[in-house]
Amino acid sequence: MFKKAVTSLLLFNLTSEGVAAFSPDLDIGGTTKIGLEYNVVPTKWASNPQYQDGFDIISNSSNFHIGASQALDQDSTAYFKYVLRIDTAMGTMNKSTQVKSGTNYAYVGYTYKNFDIQTGAMKSIPYKYVGKYDDVAFIEGYHSYSANRKIQKAVLATYQIGALQLGTDIQATATGVADGQQGDQGTSSIFSYAVGAQYAKDNVEIGVAYNAYTSGAVGNSNTSQSEQLQSLNNSGQIPPYWGIGGAYTFDKATGNKLFGQFSYLSRGNNSNQHGTNSSLSNGDNVGYYQDSSYDIGIKLYNTILRYSSGYLDSESNSLLVNHQTEVAKNLFLRTEVNFPSVLAVDSFNSRHRTIAINSYAVDVKYVF
């Protein structure tokens, strides 16, 4: 009833004869999440007042979305969607001047038969085909997928051939300083491109993707969208990325499946910024950046168990377990525990932490 009323109010368009010219399908909804987390700080940081054991009220990327689609003829459809991220605990809405995991999605698109094209700010091809298999954490959760999750000022296109989907995206941010991919402190424009393919049939999904930058732009600490944007290879450029991911659903009725992904970031040995000779030291533990990272996991009913090995050495691994239960219609109770090793820092975690913290959390999610 609510959606129909909004459709009539916002999108009713009269012709000269007083008849509705079109009746698009309107989609309004979102999620709200609020919870409680207890963090256990490793002993080596306990003396630092900035890092203390304790509770934290968390909101975990609540969002509100609005979208609509309109059939233009038998073969083509036009559509748009806006997704706004809201921090329920803080009462704030995120801006999009810097590239981070929580910034907003907004795009318009056109579909003709098996071809689809979008422009705006959307999930990247590497994320759609590889990174999504890494992104299973509810609340915390270290990520080992190392390429971009979201692209801005971009065009993305896909073409479906039976069970195979081919995809590409191009990102062009000539303005650089204020509105470009670099964020507010950026000094140069970015031109990036990605290509990929995904095969999905019966119980099997598998995707591959490649992502590269050609403008010579340099990432910085503000570009926390991905490890790729914070790394330089030997020639001083953002390194190219490729990855492969997939899932095997062994019980379609329950959705039980095995999943995983492997990411490779061709860093080189530039030690100035995240090259393979660059190190991160925490106490007695020293880790060196590496090119490859991976996840393996299993989903059993409403429980997920995932092991991650990140883009540092063996000191950057992590174990994640979460579970959700629908306690009422559209209302979910979720629990999660995350055990990162001492060097497992999360590049697009909801709070962008720089140290590994064991976390125990519970929240409620309502879908409307």
Most confident of 48-52, 198-202, 218-222, 344-348: 198-202
The string of pLDDT tens digits covering residues 242-278 is 999 999 999 999 999 999 999 999 999 988 888 998 8
| CATH tag for 2-367 (out of 3.40.50.300, 1.10.1740.10, 3.90.1300.10, 2.40.160.10) | 2.40.160.10
The string of pLDDT tens digits covering residues 277-328 is 888 777 677 888 999 999 999 999 999 999 999 888 888 899 999 999 999 9
Q: Comparing 83-97, 151-165, 240-254, 262-276, which segment has the lowest mean pLDDT?
A: 83-97
pLDDT of 217 reads: 59
pTM for the full predicted model: 0.85
Would the pLDDT of 141 be above 70?
Answer: yes
pLDDT > 90 fraction of the chain, expressed in percent and rounded: 46
Confidence bin at 169 (pLDDT 50/70/90): very high
Report which of residues 251 and 45 the model is more confident about: 251
How far is the CA of 263 from the CAs of 132, 212, 223, 351, in angstroms? 12, 14, 19, 23
The closest of 194, 195, 145 to 171, measured between CA atoms, is: 194
Q: Comparing 199-213, 218-232, 287-301, which segment has the lowest mean pLDDT?
A: 218-232
The string of pLDDT tens digits covering residues 340-351 is 888 887 655 455
pLDDT of 33 reads: 87
Confidence bin at 118 (pLDDT 50/70/90): very high
Report which of residues 40 and 352 the model is more confident about: 40
CA distance 108 to 111: 11
State the average pLDDT for the chain: 81
The domain locations on the chain are 2-367
Would the pLDDT of 8 be above 60?
Answer: no
pLDDT of 180 reads: 39
pLDDT of 344 reads: 80
pLDDT of 201 reads: 96
Query: Which residues, 6 or more positions from 174, have their beta carbon under 8 angstroms from its beta carbon?
Result: 180, 189
Would the pLDDT of 98 be above 50?
Answer: no
pLDDT of 29 reads: 93
Would the pLDDT of 13 be above 90?
Answer: no
Most confident of 27-41, 150-164, 217-231: 150-164
Would the pLDDT of 107 be above 60?
Answer: yes
pLDDT of 51 reads: 67
Report which of residues 301 and 236 the model is more confident about: 301
pLDDT > 70 fraction of the chain, expressed in percent and rounded: 75
Most confident of 41-55, 119-133, 186-200: 119-133
pLDDT of 211 reads: 95
What average pLDDT score do residues 188-202 get?
Answer: 87
Would the pLDDT of 109 be above 50?
Answer: yes
Report which of residues 210 and 236 the model is more confident about: 210
CA distance 150 to 169: 11
